[in-house]
Amino acid sequence: MTVEIEFFFDVGSPASYLAYTQLPGLAADTGATIRWRPMLLGGVFKATGNASPVTVAAKGRWLLGDLALWASRYGVTLNMNPAFPINTLGLMRGATGFQLRRPDDFGRYLDAVFGAMWCNRRDLGDPAEVAATLSAAGIDPATYTALIEDPAIKSALAATTQEAVDRGVFGAPTFFVDGRMFFGQDRLEFVRECVASCTR
């Protein structure tokens, strides 16, 4: 039996980025499939009364150090973005749009956006920076603009965000395996164990 890992994420979340770097390997190791669930973290926060940890100074300082430890553990680059946190509404509509309308470009889009945000420290709150990032990845910025302005794409992102809230999601990244919810990129080993238990 193939086990599915649902991955609710927002590209503006550094923890989502770290999970993104690790999930494909985990899926390959376990034979699981990944169901990508782009959601709007700001919408989740609003609906649940949650907020970014950086809104609490001491917690924010701790988080930055903790994320650096995990990046080192994973052997990946993580450069905290000076523009963080940014409004990711357009970016997450883009993720939804590419997933639904241009799935062959979906992975390239995520690679480009996550890389620009968390490796190259680009301010993707600036439309010009988004356009330059996509152009460098071989993605036409005009396609992105058309997708994020499409009412059906807007509705799809809103629906996924609401579904996440309805299922108990309060932050990103969040994973579901066989009905069990796991919050945080530091819970990936529990995700792995849950996948393994489902395949026994």
Domain boundaries defined on the chain: 4-51+78-198
Across 168-186, b (16+ Cβ under 10 Å) vs e yields: ebbbbbbbbbeeeebbbbb
Helix (H) or strand (E) run with residue 44 in it: helix 41-48
pLDDT of residue 199: 77
pLDDT of residue 54: 87
Helix (H) or strand (E) run with residue 34 in it: strand 33-38
User: Nearest-CA neighbor of 195 among 28, 11, 55?
Assistant: 28
Q: Are 89 and 127 in contact (CB under 8 A)?
A: no
pTM of the model: 0.96
Q: Has domain 4-51+78-198 been given CATH number 3.40.30.10? A: yes
Task: Name, in order, each residue with C-beta under 8 angstroms of 45's C-beta and a sequence gap of 6 or more.
Answer: 51, 52, 171
Would you tell me how many other CB atoms lie within 10 Å of the CB of residue 134? 23
| pLDDT tens-digit map of 126-177 | 999 999 999 999 999 999 999 999 999 999 999 999 999 999 999 999 999 9
DSSP 2: P
DSSP 99-131: HHH-GGGHHHHHHHHHHHHHTS---TTSHHHHH
The stretches in the chain having pLDDT less than 50 are none
Q: Exposed, middle or buried: residue 157 (CB in 10 Å: 0-12, 13-18, 19+)?
A: buried
pLDDT of residue 155: 98
